């Protein structure tokens, strides 16, 4: 990793999203929903902005490709953990969502321990799971902040399903990579 990659504009935007995670988690845990909505909106806009800026200005980097999804995971794990601990979501749902983000790194670790060269982008199921998780969070906070019925609870089954499919897609991908003979 080159030092100049870290300081590219898209990576700075991603870092700001990481910093916003702390007040967002605080406001959600304190049930300050309007402040949660404001901070959450800025974080979501920054998530779209960093990717757009990276592509349009040709500022993509290996660091950014790893840093952005890592920040997404930190945000999602933190938010779902708070919602689970505060009994704002069903326990089974929180366990499935958080379980995905524990199991996938373990699967990747097993693949690395088996000697697989793991240099791949998130799977389609992984990306879909993240989009659904963020959609659930957005609708949940919007309902609390603005008193509008968002029907966020109807996403619990699709989110759970895509979390499961995401885990399975990584298991399949890594098992295929692990079986390939290595070139020495």
Span 31-42, pLDDT tens digits: 999 999 999 999
pLDDT at 108: 81
DSSP 180: S
Quick one: CA dihedral 6, 12, 17, 19, positive or negative?
positive
Please report how many Cα atoms fall inside a 13 Å half-sphere around the Cα of residue 61, on the Cβ side.
20
Tokens 């949940």 sit on residue: 140
Q: Helix 33-56 to helix 9-29 angle, to the nearest 10 degrees?
A: 170
Most trustworthy range by pLDDT among 48-52, 149-153, 177-181: 149-153
pLDDT at 182: 57
| CA 111 to centroid of chain Cα atoms | 21
pTM of the model: 0.88
Q: Any idea what the Cα angle at residue 61 is, between residues 56 and 63, rounded to 5°?
A: 135
Q: Any idea what the Cα angle at residue 167 is, between residues 81 and 49, rounded to 5°?
A: 65
pLDDT at 180: 67
pLDDT at 154: 96
Rounded to the nearest 10 degrees, how much is the dihedral formed by the CA atoms of 177, 178, 183, 184?
150
Span 123-159, pLDDT tens digits: 899 999 999 999 999 999 999 999 999 999 999 999 9
Structure tokens that stand for 144 in this block: 């609390």
């Amino acid at each position: 990793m080159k030092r100049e990659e870290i300081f590219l504009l898209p990576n700075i935007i991603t870092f700001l999203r990481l910093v916003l995670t702390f007040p967002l988690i605080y406001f959600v845990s304190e049930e300050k929903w309007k402040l949660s909505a404001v901070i959450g909106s800025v974080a979501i806009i920054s998530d779209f902005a960093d990717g757009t800026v990276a592509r349009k200005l040709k500022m993509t980097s290996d660091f950014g490709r790893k840093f952005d999804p890592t920040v997404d995971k930190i945000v999602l794990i933190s938010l779902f953990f708070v919602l689970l601990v505060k009994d704002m979501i069903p326990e089974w749902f929180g366990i499935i969502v958080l379980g995905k983000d524990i199991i996938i790194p373990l699967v990747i670790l097993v693949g690395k321990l088996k000697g697989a060269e793991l240099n791949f982008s998130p799977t389609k199921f992984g990306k879909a799971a993240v989009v659904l998780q963020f959609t659930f969070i957005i609708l949940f906070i919007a309902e609390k902040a603005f008193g509008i019925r968002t029907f966020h609870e109807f996403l619990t089954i699709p989110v759970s399903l895509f979390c499961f499919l995401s885990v399975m897609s990584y298991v399949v991908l890594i098992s295929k990579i692990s079986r390939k003979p290595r070139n020495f």
